[in-house]
Chain A
Amino acid sequence: MQLSGGLSLDQAPVLSVPASFFLAIPLGVFVSACILIAYGALPLLSPWLPQALALTHAGTLGVLAMGMIGALYQMTPVVAGTPVPYTRIAHLVQALLLAGLAGFLWRLLGGPESAMAWALTCFKLALPAFLLPLGWALIRPATRNETVQGMRLAVLSLAAVTLTGVLMGGGYAGGVFAEGRVLWMQIHLTLALLGWVGGLIMAVSWQVIPMFYLAPPASKTTMRWLFGLLLSGLILPLATLYFSAGVNDHLSPSLLVAISALPAATVTWLLHPMLTLRNISQRKRKRSDGSLLFWKAGLTCALLITPIAMAALLLPDPRWQVLFGWLAIWGWAGLIMHGMLSRIVPFLVWFHRYSAKVGLEPVPSMRSLLSQRRIKTGFALHTSSVVLGVTAILVQADLLAQLTGLLLLATAISLASMLLHVLVPGKASVSGMIE
């Protein structure tokens, strides 16, 4: 039982904090598009090529991190019940990330070593500026639930991902690549995709799927099992590595890391998608919703990732590794993020601009802020780019890669137009009024 008292509207961050992160996402998609248009199929040839690393990080840092960090600033006070202190630092974090990403991409696409040194400095400064205020709110939450646990895990993983990334990036900044580069890459990849992205997608889904789509919530037991398996799949690789040093001559350390991450991969790309798709199919009011199409497509994409990850691990053809990365970043995580933006941004705008006036004066309904047609256009473009990208990876044709780039460009324009339409005051039509 909870009673009134002590709550203030100031607890959630101002709209400009998540909005500035969300508005940067189309820029990340645009940069990814430019890389594909400029370099054709080269970035899709092998994950070790600098152009492939540039494309990957334009997707992870330019697209996924922008959306996820923006969402964390917004969700932490609401879900954990504790405000994030010094939220305005978020703008500095974003500036550092964008400046770092610019240097990072410049170096990988032929720029000087100093560009990477600049990028790594920016990332090293951005990490504590993000981690300390957010960690403060997450360490002492007023509400303890599985979503908060998932958010904590995601943030911790992000810290580890940044540190391993900075360690490896030194090789491009005039230093030497860390010993066991393949192994570090495997750890970086595992923590990034399973801990940071997978942890947050799972935690957020537990909150938003029942809330926005009236799907039955996952039971507490299910959530605890999934969280436990995910956590074990992140700890096990490090433990395996430590205890097996010098013992097993047959398996390479990077393969051992990948195998011991299997519990986390199973949760992220098999159990969670299957359970969520089942819950979505059982929702109480089956209203047509464009954002739900993204969830369904993203979760279906996740189910394809595990077999492709196995192929990437066991087969020598590097295209499997590229395909795995493409489906994980732009398919699974990218689709879910795009869908969430089309649902959460109108909600935030409605909440910040209109909710205080409900019952006192006529206000627009949330659904009237963004048309389903706009959402479905974004969905058609995004899914087409995923499919064409898969074909381009398999066929390795420059023309297909460039066409994929053009589709990404169209997706970036559609996404930017959608976000600006909702976020810029006066742009959204207010046809459906609540009186």
Chain B
Amino acid sequence: MLPILERMPDDGILKLTAPKRLDAFIIFLQNQGYRVHVREWQARVWDIEVLGVKSPEIVDLRELEAPEPMEKVLMACSQLDVTDRYLARLPHVPAPLFPHLESRGLSWCVHEEVDQSALLLIWRAA
């Protein structure tokens, strides 16, 4: 796992699925300066998110009805600089949002979670 983490950029994010909580590993990562989010999806399925030291905070938009998550993301990304990253949790994969991001010169990467919510990373293409 450590070689993968070494290759991860400082503003990157690593998603792991593990059969148990891996407490010792999590403490080790936190001591290294990583931020770690841990969730148990179901028995023996743990989701571990490792955020790089310069990764932005994850904005949680899951409690918003459509189209409010789209509004919030577009508002936030209108000021995004080339070096900035925007990370958000959304209630589901926001398919109608993607063409808007691309028309504004923004790149994105989305991960669909087990509960059908989504983790979205946006950055301005250099």
Residues of A within 8 A of B (CB): 1-5, 7-9, 11-12, 78, 81, 210-214, 217, 284-285, 287, 347, 350-351, 355-356, 358-360, 365-366, 434
Q: Which residues of B contact A217 (CB under 8 A)?
A: 92, 115-116
> Which of the residues B66, B74, B109 comes within 8 Å of A212, measured between beta carbons?
B66
> Across the interface, do B109 and A359 meet the contact criterion of CB distance under 8 Å?
no
Q: In the complex, A350 Cα to B79 Cα: how many Å?
A: 22
Give A108 Cβ to nearest chain B Cβ, in Å: 41
Q: In the complex, A366 Cα to B68 Cα: how many Å?
A: 9
Q: Please choose the segment from B2-10, B16-24, B48-56, B99-107 that sits at the chain A interface, where 4 or more of its residues have CB less than 8 A away.
A: B99-107
Answer whether A211 and B92 are a contact pair too, CB < 8 Å, given A347-B66, A350-B67, A359-B77: yes
Which residue on B lies nearest to A77, using beta carbons? B95
Q: Which residues of A contact B109 (CB under 8 A)?
A: 1-4
> Across the interface, do A358 and B70 meet the contact criterion of CB distance under 8 Å?
yes
Which residue on B lies nearest to A12, using beta carbons? B96
> Across the interface, do B70 and A355 meet the contact criterion of CB distance under 8 Å?
yes
> Across the interface, do A81 and B100 meet the contact criterion of CB distance under 8 Å?
no
12 contacts between A and B (CB under 8 A): A4-B109, A7-B98, A212-B66, A217-B92, A285-B64, A347-B67, A355-B70, A355-B100, A358-B74, A358-B75, A359-B78, A365-B71
Q: In the complex, A324 Cα to B78 Cα: how many Å?
A: 53
Q: In the complex, A141 Cα to B106 Cα: how many Å?
A: 25
Q: Which of B75, B99, B103, B115 has the most CB atoms of chain A within a 10 A radius of its CB?
A: B99
Answer whether A210 and B91 are a contact pair too, CB < 8 Å, given A1-B109, A285-B63, A350-B67: yes
Say yes or no for B39: interface residue by CB 8 A criterion. no
Q: Which of A81, A210, A365 has the most CB atoms of chain B within a 10 A radius of its CB?
A: A210
Q: Which residues of B contact A360 (CB under 8 A)?
A: 78
Q: In the complex, A287 Cα to B66 Cα: how many Å?
A: 13
Answer whether A355 and B65 are a contact pair too, CB < 8 Å, given A4-B108, A211-B92: no
Which residue on A lies nearest to B115, using beta carbons? A217
Q: Beyond A5-B102, A11-B99: 9 further Cβ-contacts under 8 Å?
A: A4-B107, A7-B98, A9-B99, A81-B95, A210-B92, A213-B65, A214-B65, A285-B63, A355-B71
> Across the interface, do A434 and B71 meet the contact criterion of CB distance under 8 Å?
yes
> Across the interface, do B110 and A366 meet the contact criterion of CB distance under 8 Å?
no
Give B115 Cβ to nearest chain A Cβ, in Å: 8
Q: In the complex, A214 Cα to B109 Cα: how many Å?
A: 23
Which residue on A lies nearest to B79, using beta carbons? A359
Say yes or no for B111: interface residue by CB 8 A criterion. yes
Q: Which residues of A contact B110 (CB under 8 A)?
A: 1-2
Q: Which residues of A contact B71 (CB under 8 A)?
A: 355, 358, 365, 434
Q: Which residues of A contact B100 (CB under 8 A)?
A: 9, 355-356
Q: In the complex, A407 Cα to B112 Cα: how many Å?
A: 46
Q: Which of A5, A78, A355 has the most CB atoms of chain B within a 10 A radius of its CB?
A: A355
Q: Which residues of A contact B93 (CB under 8 A)?
A: 2
Which residue on B lies nearest to A435, using beta carbons? B75
Answer whether A8 and B95 are a contact pair too, CB < 8 Å, given A355-B74, A359-B74: no
A-B pairs with lowest CB-CB distance, top 10: A359-B78, A358-B74, A9-B99, A4-B108, A7-B99, A359-B75, A359-B74, A4-B107, A7-B98, A211-B66
Mask of B33-71 contacts with A, CB within 8 angstroms, 1/0: 000000000000000000000000000001111110011
Give B121 Cβ to nearest chain A Cβ, in Å: 10
Q: Which residues of A contact B77 (CB under 8 A)?
A: 359
> Across the interface, do B95 and A78 meet the contact criterion of CB distance under 8 Å?
yes
Which residue on B lies nearest to A2, using beta carbons? B110
